[in-house]
Structure 1
Amino acid sequence: MGRANGEQVRGTGNFGTGWGHGAEPAEAKKIFELYASAGGNFIDTANVYQFGQSEQLLGDLIAADRDHFVVATKYTNGTDSTAGVSAKGNSRKNMMRAVEESLKRLNTDHIDLYWAHISDSMTPMEEVLRGFDDLVRAGKILYAGLSNFPAWRIARADLMAEVRGWASMVAIQTEYSLAERTAERELLPMAEALGLAITTWSPLGGGLLTGKYRDHPANTRLEKLGMLVHTETTEKDTLLMNTIFEVAKEAGATATHIAIAWLLHQARTSSTALIPILGSRTADQLQATLGALEVVLDASQVARLDAASQVSLGVPHEQIASSVKNIAAGMRLNDWHRLHA
């Protein structure tokens, strides 16, 4: 998979205005060209983004140099919000129809990475995996991945594909940022253990981590995107934002830079590829975000951001950590007794 300057993916959820907000074609072109000029070649889209407009615009933009770009798109949700159940979900029927429609909109003969966008909690993993395998064998997709799936389903899929000789999953996609770290409980350790790449969406918490909602709390984006946007509603949120602004002042950077720089630090310390997806709506926003590549956080700053954003690992992880600590202490005590017997 390609990365911008070895670090980031270009997300295109804002390419088009089918949702009533987003980037017009001219602005989308500026964003694309800025990303490409920065060395980026991995682009993530989905059939549902702007009801298909995102794929159409991207198809036009990559046409002159298709093979240079790694194109990822998704199925599960359709382009028509009124479509019936057979045009949505993870089923083989929807997959086969969706991939043909995406290939046409993208004006390409193959998709580099094809995601199931979100678990529908009904379709058997065998059906999803066999569909992906057929598409890989047909050359319509090169690789497959699972986006917004629970860890147990991904782990089961990984083993099932290996045992049955089907095309294996190569990556997962999940929300992850200073505002949302619960993926650390199951998803990230699982991906590292299985050697799966991780692409992370909403690196700025839907705008929360930029600090703009403090200045403009009535931002209409909150109303349009709903659950995709985090808001400063708790004391913990306020502590996190205060910490981000403090670190930003120390580093001579913006809150946006600090939020992305923290993710890039996580990427450097991960045993697998961890790649933030940048979904800027304007070229100016992307330019401001790319400035994070020049920011290096020191150990103290990372520790403060970690502390302000940490989440409880919950059951059974905290019990395991406590047990391991006790076992290790017992082993040290036994060693002492043996040495002094």
Structure 2
Amino acid sequence: MKYTQLGRTGLQVSRLVLGTMNFGGETDEAGSHAIMDAALDAGVNFFDTANIYGPDDDSKGRTEEILGSWFAGGADRRDKVVLATKLYGDMTPGSTWRKAAWPNHNKLSAVNIRRAVDASLKRLGTDHIDIYQFHHVDRDTPFEEIWQAIDVLITQGKILYAGTSNFPGYKIAQANEIAARTGRVGLVSEQCLYNLAERRAEMEVIPAAQEYGLGVIPWSPLNMGLLGGALRKERDGTGSRSIKSVRSAAGLADPAMRARVEAYENLLAKHELDPGEVALAWLLTRPGVTGPIVGPRTPEHFRSALRAVELELSEELLGALDEIFPGPGPSPEAFAW
């Protein structure tokens, strides 16, 4: 495994991030433990989860519990893992991502930050979270309040760093400018939607992250499966019935996207390369990227992702990929003229 520093911090993390969203849903507890065993054996030390993850609205938090049971199975497991989780969504039964069941039980108020971190620590069976991430922008809570609450958690030893997920570039700047004015470290990472087929993050999110020293952690590196051999699986009838596969099929219904995916798979077939591995390897060549989040459902899926770390893409191939999936180009030129 290869390692890098997370943004401007001294924290060493693996170039692949183990995503756990499938744990407790598409992958049962035993299978989840097997994937985490394989990850640790391979040197992957960066695990990502969220308090909201679970198979349904009545089982939120289940994924964190599965990580907690795995940590409990070995005295040194927790010490070897850089653990990241998130808060924002409402955790009360009957709530949804965008609708709270009870006031003050979602978003980023100081009240909810305090409540959410203690609940996550209990489910995870640990005394601290390495990277505590804001899962979404909270338009109602000022960053002054957010940073005050985060300061308390750092002082208490409950978290070490703060990061974001799904933040636009201007909010990354705003958060870190307010932190800097009061001598705080500020944000150290941003998780964003970023892959070959979805490159809008290159316009402002990634430049902002680089300017402020945040590590970029792309999620959905295969664009909901579209970049993982979707057309081949469609022809062979080997696709799964997962939510990602359903969304992948929906993406292929767009004629323009279908044509690009077909060109992508044909190009890689000529080079005898696996589409999913190339999609991950491409992200590892991108400026500012710490490592993509991979969300395997099985140990076999995880082993395929591992091969991407060692895969070297030629300049010729990188150029051909840019022709199929062109990026927006540098800003402000990308949107100004």
TM-score category, normalised to shorter length: 0.7 to 0.9
Q: Deviations over 1:125-172 (max 9, x none)?
A: 222222112211211100001111111111011111111123421111
Counterpart CA distance in 2 for 1:309 and 1:291 is 22
Aligned counterpart for 1:250 among listed residues 261, 270, 282: 270
Counterpart CA distance in 2 for 1:98 and 1:15 is 20
Contact 1:73 1:111 in 2 (8 A): yes
Counterpart CA distance in 1 for 2:194 and 2:45 is 21
What residue is the counterpart of 1:164 in the other structure? 182
Counterpart CA distance in 1 for 2:256 and 2:328 is 13
Is the partner of 2:108 in helix, strand or coil? coil
What residue is the counterpart of 2:152 in the other structure? 134
Output aligned runs, 1:26-175, within 5 Å.
Answer: 26-50=30-54, 51-63=60-72, 64=74, 65=76, 66-80=78-92, 81-82=94-95, 83-175=101-193
What residue is the counterpart of 2:8 in the other structure? none
Is the partner of 2:83 in helix, strand or coil? strand
What residue is the counterpart of 1:231 in the other structure? 251
Counterpart CA distance in 1 for 2:195 and 2:157 is 34
**Alpha-carbon distance change, 62 to 166 in structure 1, aligned in 2, over 3 angstroms:** same
One-letter amino acid of the counterpart of residue 160, structure 2: L
What residue is the counterpart of 1:188 in the other structure? 206
Contact 1:89 1:120 in 2 (8 A): yes
Q: Deviations over 1:212-246 (max 9, x none)?
A: 363459964348976x9871243442243123213
TM-score in terms of structure 1 length: 0.84
Give the superposed CA RMSD. 2.4
Is the partner of 2:139 in helix, strand or coil? coil
More divergent stretch after superposition (290-299 vs 215-224): 215-224
Q: Which has the higher helix share?
A: 1
The yes-or-no answer on 1:3 pairing with 2:21 is: no
**Alpha-carbon distance change, 159 to 230 in structure 1, aligned in 2, over 3 angstroms:** farther
Counterpart CA distance in 1 for 2:27 and 2:33 is 9
Q: Deviation of residue 186 (structure 1)?
A: 0.3
Counterpart CA distance in 1 for 2:110 and 2:86 is 14
The yes-or-no answer on 1:221 pairing with 2:242 is: yes
Q: Deviations over 1:41-61 (max 9, x none)?
A: 110000001111111111122
What residue is the counterpart of 1:176 in the other structure? 194
Contact 2:49 2:63 in 1 (8 A): yes
Number of residue pairs matched? 310
What residue is the counterpart of 2:261 in the other structure? 241
TM-score in terms of structure 2 length: 0.85
One-letter amino acid of the counterpart of residue 9, structure 1: V
One-letter amino acid of the counterpart of residue 3, structure 1: V
| Structure index of larger Rg | 1
Counterpart CA distance in 1 for 2:42 and 2:239 is 33
Q: Deviation of residue 112 (structure 1)?
A: 0.4
Unaligned runs of 5+ in 2: 1-10, 55-59, 96-100
Output aligned runs, 1:263-282, within 5 Å.
Answer: 263-266=283-286, 270=287, 272-282=288-298
Q: Deviations over 1:257-300 (max 9, x none)?
A: 1111111121xxx2x45210111111111112222223211111
Unaligned runs of 5+ in 1: 323-341
User: What is the identity percentage for the equivalent residue pairs of Structure 1 and Structure 2?
Assistant: 35
Counterpart CA distance in 2 for 1:60 and 1:209 is 33
Q: Deviations over 1:4-54 (max 9, x none)?
A: 4xx11101111112xxxx210111011111111111111000000111111
